[in-house]
Structures are given as C-alpha cells and as structure tokens.
Amino acid sequence: MANIITLTLNPCIDKFFTVDALIAEQKLRARDVEDYPGGGGLNVSRAISHLGGKSTALWILGGPVGHRLEQLLARENLDQHTVAVSGQTRENIIVYEKSSDQYYRFSLPGPSISDSELVAWTEALNAVVSPGDYVVISGSLPPGAPPGWFADLIQSISAEHRVIVDTKAEALHAALETGVFLAKPNIVELAEYVGQRLEGDEEVECAGRRIIENGGAVALMISMGRGGALLIQRDRAEHIRAPLVPIHSKVGAGDSMVAGMVLALSRGLSIPQAARFGVAAGSAAVMTEGTQLCTREDTERLYERMNAR
C-alpha cells in the first residue's frame, strides 16, 4: 500500500463555540467552547485516521499557537513533522448560532512566510517523501508564499509522486498549469479558473476535459455540494450522487472527501471506486456535529449503499 503525505501550508486552530444569537454590540455568552486542529492537509490526515488509515502530516508551526496545535494533533496520535517559522500559527473562529441553526466561519490570514522559510519547507518535504507516495496539498497558501513557488514545489515532487491538490484561486491556477495527478475544485473554483460561467454537467465536463487534455490533471473531482461530485478523466465522466443523509454540519466535508479518496487509492482501488468512497466520506462528515469529521462506520455503510444502488 502506498504511503500518504499531507501538506498544510497554512494550518490553524479552529476555536468553536455556541451562542444563542449573534447580536451586534451586545456581550454574547459563548458555551461549548472547544479547540480543534484545522487546515486542509491536517484535516485530511485526521479523517484518514478516522477511516482506519495512516498518513504523515507535514505542516508549518509558528509560536505558542503552533505548539498548542502540535499538542492537539499528538492527542490523535498522528504522525507529524513540522517546519518552524517566525510568525504565529493562526486561529480561526467557528460560531454556531442556535437560534438560526447556522454556522459562521471566520478565517484569519496566517503568518507571512519568508524566502528562507519557503526553502526550508521544500527541504523538509523532500526528506519525508518517497517515490510512489500520494502527496496531498490541501488548504490555502500563507501570506508571502507566491504562486510561482507553489508551482515549483509541485513540479519538484510530481514526477515520482502522485500529487492531489485541494486549493483555490492563484494556488489552484498554479497547480493546474504545472500538472497534477488529481485536483478537487468546486464548480465556482473551476469556473474562475476557466474564466466562464458553468451551468449543468455538460459545461462542467467540457471545461474539465480541456484541463485534462492540456495536461493540467490526470483526473478532476468536481465537488457539487449536496449533488455529490463529477469525476472527469480523459476517457470518461461520471456524476457520483451523494447519498441522502441528515445534515448537521458541512464543516470538514471537503477534507473528508479528499481523505476517503486518497486512502482508497492508496489501497489499490481504481479512480472511480476511490471517488465513490470519497463521496461517501464527505456525506458521512455532514452527519456529524460542529467541526467533527467523517466516521469509519458511516463511511463504509454509505459506500456499500452507493455500490448497491
């Protein structure tokens, strides 16, 4: 079974709490306060662990918040490697408003990364990867990390490894211009990349096929929210419908989808089979409360239901 390496360039601690209602200029009483590890790649590694798999998480650590994050990850027994930076690891805020049954997410920018720290990051990555590994790069770029450096990072590892990217904006553009094994944009992100509005599976499929034909990716997994995902390969396209489940929180659904897919690929499943397992994991995640990720039991049950269907 191939190894999985996750990269998190802008990790965070998600501070989660509940209020009765968000009311301007009033002191609001927070309860059910919890700290959770956050950041795309770290959540992918955590979800892989929930699904019974193993991965190595490589991430940027800065200041006391970074050390607190390291402790939270150690409690989950994740194999982790850190790259120290002079800035402070960020904290994000997730608020559940009980009166509306809605979640509000406040994402902070994170520390700026110097040129020397970017070099240290690349060196740390080269020290942990081996030929044939799956390398998952998920989440945003930190301030100061130019898209050109991100493209060089992908190019330095993509020849001998299978790179999976879940990012957006300039980082997604750099990844697809460089070429990766698999990318997981949503419809809005794909439309921004191709520079046109996309309506319906046919237009999305045409846009995806152009990317694949131009060498941007071997496969695209277009996230469609409640509609599941559209898997596009050079010779096929498949709309994978998400199973109907009770929705409690959408936080972490995308990271769980990536985790399910890369874990299935590492176990030897085909890309279409892995895509279905990924959709099952994403659906399992929305069944959980707050910032919790997918569970193995729900994911495997939903996957069996999807295959039977």
Alpha-helical runs (H) found in the chain: 40-50, 63-75, 115-128, 147-158, 169-178, 187-194, 200-213, 253-266, 271-286, 296-308
The residue assigned the tokens 């049954």 is 101
- What is the token pair recorded at 174? 């750099």
* 104 residue type, one letter: Y
Cα separation, 232 vs 235, in Å, equals 8
- What is the token pair recorded at 25? 């200029």
- What is the token pair recorded at 283? 């659906």
> How many other C-beta atoms lie within 10 A of the C-beta of residue 39?
29
| 185 and 176 Cβ atoms separated by less than 8 Å | no
Helix or strand or coil: residue 114? coil
- What is the token pair recorded at 176? 């697809």
Q: Which of 14, 133, 255, 298 is catalytic?
A: 255
The β-bridge partners of 84 are 61
Q: What angle do CA 141, 79, 252 make, to 5 degrees?
A: 50
| 171 and 140 Cβ atoms separated by less than 8 Å | yes
Give rounded-to-5 percent helix, strand, coil for the chain. 40, 25, 35
Known catalytic residue at 152 = no
- What is the token pair recorded at 269? 């499943």
Catalytically active residues are 255
